[in-house]
Amino acid sequence: MKPRRQRATAGDKTIYIAVPEDIDYPHLVSDRKAFRRYLDQMIVEHPELFPAEIS
């Protein structure tokens, strides 16, 4: 396993978001607008996972 990289800033975090099988993941992440729409939907559905500043 690769060693973890050191965080750039103290507030730098990673949030893993599940993507259902019926969504074309490669297309989703290559289309910035589509990804942002999906991310906005996840923020609304699961606000406890995201910092308040993300919206």
Nearest to 43 by CA among 12, 5, 17: 17
Is 43 within 8 Å of 55 (Cβ atoms)?
yes
pLDDT value of residue 15: 82
Q: Residue 23 — φ and ψ, nearest 5°?
A: -100, 135
pLDDT value of residue 29: 93
**For 1-55, how does the pLDDT look when each residue is reduced to its tens digit (9 = 90+)?**
777 777 666 667 788 888 999 999 999 999 999 999 999 999 999 999 888 888 6
State the Cα–Cα distance between residues 46 and 44, nearest whole angstrom.
6
pLDDT value of residue 19: 92
